[in-house]
Amino acid sequence: MLTGKRILIGIGGGIAVYKIAELARMLTKAGAKVRCIMTKSACEFVTPLTFEALTGYQAHTALFDLTSEREMGHIALARWADAVIIAPATASLLARLAHGIADDLLTTTMQVCDKPVLLAPAMNTSMWESEATQRNMATLCGRGMHCVGPDEGELACGESGSGRLSDVRAILSGLLPLLTDKPFIGQHWVINAGPTEEAWDDVRILTNRASGMLGALLADLAAIMGASVSLIAGPGTADTHPGVMRRNVSTALEMLTVCELEASAASVFIATAAVSDFRFAEPVQGKLKRGDTDNLMVELIANPDIVAHIAALPARPAKVIAFAAESDNHIDHARSKLVKKHVDAVVANDIANIGSDKAGGWWISKHGEQIAIEAESKLDFAKQIISHITELNR
């Protein structure tokens, strides 16, 4: 999604500047073209050479550097960018932007910028919570700028509270929607992900190796593309985009309850979760001791089939997508699940990929489609699945 995108980073002066170097690296690695404007105070913390090395472009610092102006002036910088990130957005920088003060290269560039802007504030808690800063933020957001953070936590000054720069991954997640078409606006997507856990006693559980990575990626992509997304996440499921409404669950029965609540009349339901097929008939209270018995037998009972249950709802989601993780005969098993569970499509994949970043499989739809999905990563796999869902019933 970032390949070829032109990102301008405006870097304010604060101790959090060092984190922006990682942001620049991540953007560049993702295929974006990155240019940086550094304020004078930012250069006191990190040298421009750092960002030049990371991005491959000169880091711009001075408004009246005539050589730089001929190559890439402030108006040209604003026109070059597809989007702008201001980070760390200090109290001083927010104030100057809010009041239209153009006294350096960054603030002058922002005077003529008509591209999407993402603010990532970072400052002391008292400064963040001050009436002036809050008023300035309201002014900037009222002009259409977007904001991520700040987070709560320990600050560089030794205090704790709001004002910590958001994690660079959160900043990246906040940027993506500003650069992406929104074909799913008005749609509600529900996705379940990860494993479930069934308690044997108060210590031991029945579970599996699923990581929830694919479901989390699908949720992120759908949210970035404009959908209202509910993710029902089993234990250990990866972090997700701030725009995803996440409900954490543990057992299969808990997942069923939340899925049924969220999925009624949804646009899309995607069942990526590796739900335990069985649970213990009589979980033990406390901890089962090794010496309690020489031979132990336990009774397992079947858990409900969540995707089949959702597909049979009176107010069924418009599209129900199941997954079939198999060790062999992948396509045959997927076709059987398609008919038996009355779903719109099944994604068949191999159990060898559970818990890893490897991906690949087949898209099997009720219209008779059988399409191989070859992917380099689970992100690529997720993108292709989204594409197939979009084409379903079109």
Q: What is the DSSP string of 305-334?
A: -HHHHHHT-TT--SEEEEEEEESS-HHHHH
Residues 6+ apart with CB under 8 A from 23: 9, 85, 87, 168, 171, 172
Catalytic residue among 36, 113, 157, 259: 157
Q: What is the pLDDT of residues 303-321, one digit of tens each?
A: 999 999 999 999 999 999 9
Q: What is the pLDDT of residues 20-39, one digit of tens each?
A: 999 999 999 988 999 999 99
The dotted CATH code for 6-179 is 3.40.50.1950
Q: Give the domain ranges of the chain.
A: 6-179, 188-391
Q: What is the pLDDT of residues 148-160, one digit of tens each?
A: 888 776 765 566 6
Check: CB of residue 384 under 8 Å from CB of residue 375: yes
User: Helix, strand or coil for residue 118?
Assistant: strand
Distance of CA 9 to the CA centre of its chain: 21
User: Helix, strand or coil for residue 216?
Assistant: helix
Which of 70-74, 96-100, 129-133 is the least confident region?
A: 70-74
User: Helix, strand or coil for residue 346?
Assistant: strand
Q: Which residues lie across from 314 on neighbouring strands?
A: none
Question: Is 157 labeled as catalytic in the residue annotation?
Answer: yes
Q: Which of 41, 31, 50, 34 is nearest to 83 (CA)?
A: 34
Whose tokens are 């509270």? That residue is 161
* Cα–Cα dist 84/86, whole Å: 7
Q: Which of 76, 161, 168 is nearest to 120 (CA)?
A: 168
* Cα–Cα dist 227/219, whole Å: 9
Residues 355-367 have a mean pLDDT of 84
Secondary structure of 51-68 as H, E, C letters: HHHHHCCCCECCCCCHHH
CATH architecture of 188-391: 3-Layer(aba) Sandwich (3.40)
Residues 41-53 have a mean pLDDT of 91
| Equal fold, 6-179 vs 188-391 | yes
Q: Which of 9, 7, 141, 191 is nearest to 86 (CA)?
A: 9
Give the DSSP H/E element, type plus range, for residue 164. strand 160-164
Residues 252-261 have a mean pLDDT of 96
Q: What is the dihedral of CA 73, 79, 80, 83, to 10 degrees?
A: 120
